[in-house]
Amino acid sequence: MNEAFAAVCELADEASYAQRTLARASTERKNAVLLDIADALVTNAGMIEAANDVDMHEAEDSGMSQGLLDRLRFDAGRIGATADGVRGVAALPDPVGEMVRGRNLPNGMRLNQVRVPIGVIGMIYEARPNVTVDVVSLCIKSGNAVLLRGGHAARHTNEATLAVIGQVLADHGFDSALVAGVDRYGRDGATSMMMARGHIDLLVPRGGAGLIRAVVDNSKVPVIETGAGNVHIYVDSTADLDKALPIIINAKTQRVGVCNAAEKLLVHSDVAEDFLPVVANALTEHGVRLHVDEASLDIITHAGIDDLDIVPATEEDWATEYLDYEIGIRVVDSMDDAIAHIAEYSTGHTEAIISEDYSRIEEFTARVDSAVVMVNASTRFTDGGMFGLGAELGISTQKMHARGPMGLEELTTTKWIGYGTGQVRP
Amino acid sequence: MNEAFAAVCELADEASYAQRTLARASTERKNAVLLDIADALVTNAGMIEAANDVDMHEAEDSGMSQGLLDRLRFDAGRIGATADGVRGVAALPDPVGEMVRGRNLPNGMRLNQVRVPIGVIGMIYEARPNVTVDVVSLCIKSGNAVLLRGGHAARHTNEATLAVIGQVLADHGFDSALVAGVDRYGRDGATSMMMARGHIDLLVPRGGAGLIRAVVDNSKVPVIETGAGNVHIYVDSTADLDKALPIIINAKTQRVGVCNAAEKLLVHSDVAEDFLPVVANALTEHGVRLHVDEASLDIITHAGIDDLDIVPATEEDWATEYLDYEIGIRVVDSMDDAIAHIAEYSTGHTEAIISEDYSRIEEFTARVDSAVVMVNASTRFTDGGMFGLGAELGISTQKMHARGPMGLEELTTTKWIGYGTGQVRP
């Protein structure tokens, strides 16, 4: 451990030194690097895919599930799509140098607050090789160095990918220490990153709830908590039920293993008898298991629908992020009850209200304290790409520094510059 | 400890519940509370001063230094000035509800990012009773609840002050649980606040380096690091020395016990022979002891000035924040050397360059990675009031969330609200 810690700190310090040059690089120069990385990934797709094959075989042999195997695959098609993502980042506006605030002080000084890179970002994530490229491209564009711990299962893939990126950086006259993997140190690499306060400026964990919890609990480096999404949709008594149904089906089933997928449905009692049988039927057709409270069970049972995969909800269900074809359903007697339920169980990621009533919508959006509140739209829109931020580093569910999808701006801090002509404080 | 922890969590949860109402209160209503707090402080100044007398007598008996005793004093004059500060906060624009970004998405959704309060702020500070009022007024204006741990020495003063504030909150129909002191739990109160992750949203320590270090190292709650200022002034070869001298004297001596006071002077070798004797003389006249490197010592000795309080600088000096009538002085052969010295020893609070050269200034301000970089102006301007932010909660020397003086805006987070008409993700 001590050895890994020393090595990780050294990597971080080398990255920090190299970052001083990147911090001042022009947008043009950074974009040229990004476009060349995109091309180099495509050119070297065969080599990367071969490395990925090694990881895939090892993972298959170790009995990895089909879902995880699919996440691990990085074939030519996915490499091409990832390269397109890098080109997309090149096309985004550069946040560095943006003037956030600027004013003249009464004493004649000019005071500017400008965006600057953070420094050295640490990323701890799980076996999705495209994340390596996404994160590197966001960090380069925002002028940051990055240390990556990408998970044991993807280590050959990540190594091959980072070799390609490092070569492009060197070709452009940048120190390849800007982007460094720490996979070779195994778990100690991740632990060392958490301890490297003063060497790494910001740590972002991305992956399962266990990974994120471990980093948040143990890191001495400032962390941005990402991802956990116990996402609620509240169907108000004033909802247009024809809008509600497709939104719920989309939010629950368009992709189930993601943090912005709906996990809970709260239905106002005034519309429960009309709506619950319909939505239960539709969810069933999409293969969703229903965990329902007593009131919902009564209504659905009386409607006499067959072939439902329905079970009583337990207290544990209300706090669970299923990430699967499952949903919790509860009848609430008022919007107050819905908001109270959300305040108690939500992870603060995304909640939605379906309503046509102006006052209800104003109140719900004001009172629900989550990173994103959707009105009459699918929760699946909580996404950096969908929000027009370009790629995203993750979705922050905390309140400090960044909240919601983290794009380029969230990878910066600010610096105040005061331009004087000899002013002193009276 | 377990008892204090439970009590502090309960106070935080009550504060959080009360905050939900404050979060949605109109600016008008919050300002009315602030103006009444200002008036009530003045009306009750006698009672508060009597409580302060008790603290002062205890502190004198315990042998507190004159400097600390002066900080602890909260007499009618200071209470009046503090009340004026509260009126100043009432006059500031309300950050809550400000639209940070807003756009229409291609699918027709309207997406707004708006400022919202953070929730429950925890403040751990040392015996300066005016801080209690400053912090409470900033928190109320920004819609946050606050838990305060103000230090044993000031506990009677703080209790009296909080009683006045609590009464005004109650008179305006707010729950007085919004503002709670935890001094009665002693050190366990502070420790409990650090452990209260999930109950307190943000912890801000303000005080000596030891206090801040202890909170940063031990807190499970997100912390904003404040205050440590090993502040450098670099006098370039292109400096107007007539500007340099008053800036240095002001930055070092206008007030010595504060984080934005200059602690180090780096002088370019081209101007060292001309400038060092002059500045050494002037600093001496202001009672400042000089810790100088060999080159400076040579120059100053050869100039034949008498009566200097001058000692050789040690390695330790370069890293020390004196907070006193002392300064470290070093001759550098280039701006590169000055920037390297700053990168090695600075705490990232404020640095200044004195120069008339455009390119040097551009490079210095770009390369020095501190919260504030001053050009031809005193470092003492790093201050929320001076920056036009109104009062300040502290000066952040970290990069996450807030950097530099923390005003009302830094006490907010954001929320995304997406207004749709039935959109689902394709």
At B356-388, the pLDDT tens digits run 999 999 999 999 999 999 999 999 999 998 998
CATH of the domain at B133: 3.40.605.10
Contact residues, chain B, for A105 at CB < 8 Å: 381, 386-388
**pLDDT tier at B257 (50, 70, 90 boundaries)?**
confident
- Cα separation, A162 vs A424, in Å, equals 50
CATH of the domain at A285: 3.40.309.10
Alpha helices in B152-202 (DSSP H): 155-171, 186-195
Q: Is the dihedral of CA B257, B258, B263, B267 positive or negative?
A: negative
Is residue B238 domain-shared with residue B206, that is, in the same domain? Answer: no
Helices A2-23 and A186-195 pack at an angle, to 10 degrees, of: 60
Is residue A176 domain-shared with residue A51, that is, in the same domain? Answer: yes
Residues in chain B: 426
- Cα separation, A372 vs A395, in Å, equals 10
Is residue B269 domain-shared with residue B342, that is, in the same domain? Answer: yes
**Nearest chain A Cα distance for residue B413, angstroms:** 6
**Predicted confidence (pLDDT) at residue A127 exceeds the cutoff of 80:** no
Tokens matching residue A229: 């999404």
Reduce the DSSP state of residue A280 to 3 states and report it: helix
Is residue A172 domain-shared with residue A249, that is, in the same domain? Answer: no
Q: How many domains does chain B have?
A: 2
As a 3-state breakdown, chain A gives helix, strand, coil percent values, each rounded to 5, of 50, 20, 30
Is residue A153 domain-shared with residue A76, that is, in the same domain? Answer: yes
Helix/strand number for chain A, H first, E second: 15, 16
In a domain, B390, yes or no: no
Is residue B310 domain-shared with residue B404, that is, in the same domain? Answer: no
Nearest partner of A378 among A263, A257, A249, A266, judged by Cα? A249
Residue in B23, B247, B398 closest to A424 by CB: B247
**Predicted confidence (pLDDT) at residue A129 exceeds the cutoff of 80:** yes
Is residue B188 exposed (0-12), middle (13-18) or buried (19+ Cβ within 10 Å)? middle
Reduce the DSSP state of residue B401 to 3 states and report it: coil
Nearest partner of A389 among A56, A148, A95, judged by Cα? A95
In a domain, A190, yes or no: yes
Q: What are the distances in angstroms from CA B422 to CA A153, A248, A355, A377?
A: 40, 10, 10, 5
Is residue B415 domain-shared with residue B342, that is, in the same domain? Answer: no
User: Hey, are the CB atoms on B400 and A400 less than 8 Å from each other?
Assistant: yes
User: Hey, are the CB atoms on B105 and A240 less than 8 Å from each other?
Assistant: no
Q: What are the distances in angstroms from CA B258 to CA A322, A400, B406?
A: 52, 27, 16
Range of the domain at B147: 2-225+398-419
In a domain, B391, yes or no: no
User: Hey, are the CB atoms on A422 and B246 less than 8 Å from each other?
Assistant: yes
Is residue B358 domain-shared with residue B403, that is, in the same domain? Answer: no
Is residue A253 domain-shared with residue A336, that is, in the same domain? Answer: yes
Tokens matching residue B322: 């004196």
Is residue B15 domain-shared with residue B151, that is, in the same domain? Answer: yes
- Looking at the DSSP bridge assignments, the partners of residue B114 are B99, B415
Is residue A53 exposed (0-12), middle (13-18) or buried (19+ Cβ within 10 Å)? middle
In a domain, A392, yes or no: no
User: Hey, are the CB atoms on A425 and B118 less than 8 Å from each other?
Assistant: no
- Cα separation, A236 vs A270, in Å, equals 8
pLDDT digits (tens, 9 = 90+) for A172-210: 999 999 999 998 898 899 999 999 998 999 999 988 788
DSSP labels for B36-70? HHHHHHHHTHHHHHHHHHHHHHHHHHTT--HHHHH
The whole-number pLDDT of residue B126 equals 83
Residue A296 in contact with residue A276, Cβ under 8 Å?
Answer: yes
In a domain, A42, yes or no: yes
Letter string b/e over residues A177-206, b meaning 16 or more CB atoms within 10 A of that residue's CB: bbbbbbbebeebbbbbbbbbeebbbbbbbb
Residue B167 in contact with residue B40, Cβ under 8 Å?
Answer: yes
Residue in B109, B422, B425 closest to A243 by CB: B422
Residue in B202, B403, B418 closest to A414 by CB: B403
For A39: left if phi > 0, alpha if psi spans -120 to 50, otherwise beta; the answer is alpha
The whole-number pLDDT of residue B186 equals 86
The whole-number pLDDT of residue A246 equals 98
**Predicted confidence (pLDDT) at residue A148 exceeds the cutoff of 90:** yes
Nearest partner of A233 among A327, A314, A310, judged by Cα? A327
Is residue A151 domain-shared with residue A278, that is, in the same domain? Answer: no
Q: Where are the beta strands (DSSP E) in B320-387?
A: 326-332, 350-354, 372-377
In a domain, A425, yes or no: no
Closest chain B residue to A370 measured between Cα atoms? B415
Interface with chain A: mutation pick from B112, B360, B399, highest number of A CBs within 10 Å: B399
Tokens matching residue B381: 């301007």
Reduce the DSSP state of residue A371 to 3 states and report it: coil
The whole-number pLDDT of residue B226 equals 87
Residue A411 in contact with residue A95, Cβ under 8 Å?
Answer: yes
The whole-number pLDDT of residue B1 equals 64
Q: Which residue has the higher pLDDT, B328 or A308?
A: B328
- Cα separation, A365 vs A393, in Å, equals 25
Nearest partner of B275 among B317, B330, B335, judged by Cα? B330
**pLDDT tier at A1 (50, 70, 90 boundaries)?**
low
User: Hey, are the CB atoms on A400 and B222 less than 8 Å from each other?
Assistant: yes
* Overall average pLDDT of the A45-57 stretch: 97
What are the strands of the beta sheet with A310-312, ordered from one edge?
Answer: A310-312, A289-292, A326-332, A262-268, A231-235, A350-354, A372-377, B412-423, B110-117, B99-104
% of chain B surpassing 90 pLDDT: 85
Is residue B159 exposed (0-12), middle (13-18) or buried (19+ Cβ within 10 Å)? middle
Is residue A166 domain-shared with residue A39, that is, in the same domain? Answer: yes
Residue B351 in contact with residue B368, Cβ under 8 Å?
Answer: yes
Nearest partner of B231 among B315, B126, B341, B145, judged by Cα? B341
Tokens matching residue B131: 């801080």
pLDDT digits (tens, 9 = 90+) for B46-71: 999 999 999 999 999 999 988 889 88
For A37: left if phi > 0, alpha if psi spans -120 to 50, otherwise beta; the answer is alpha
- Cα separation, A88 vs A86, in Å, equals 5
Q: What is the mean pLDDT of chain B?
A: 95
* Overall average pLDDT of the A139-164 stretch: 95
- Cα separation, B14 vs B16, in Å, equals 5
pLDDT digits (tens, 9 = 90+) for B262-273: 999 999 999 999
- Cα separation, B97 vs A304, in Å, equals 47
pLDDT digits (tens, 9 = 90+) for A314-362: 999 999 999 999 999 999 999 999 999 999 999 999 999 999 999 999 9
In a domain, B387, yes or no: no
Q: ipTM value, please give it.
A: 0.93
**Predicted confidence (pLDDT) at residue B139 exceeds the cutoff of 90:** yes
In a domain, A290, yes or no: yes
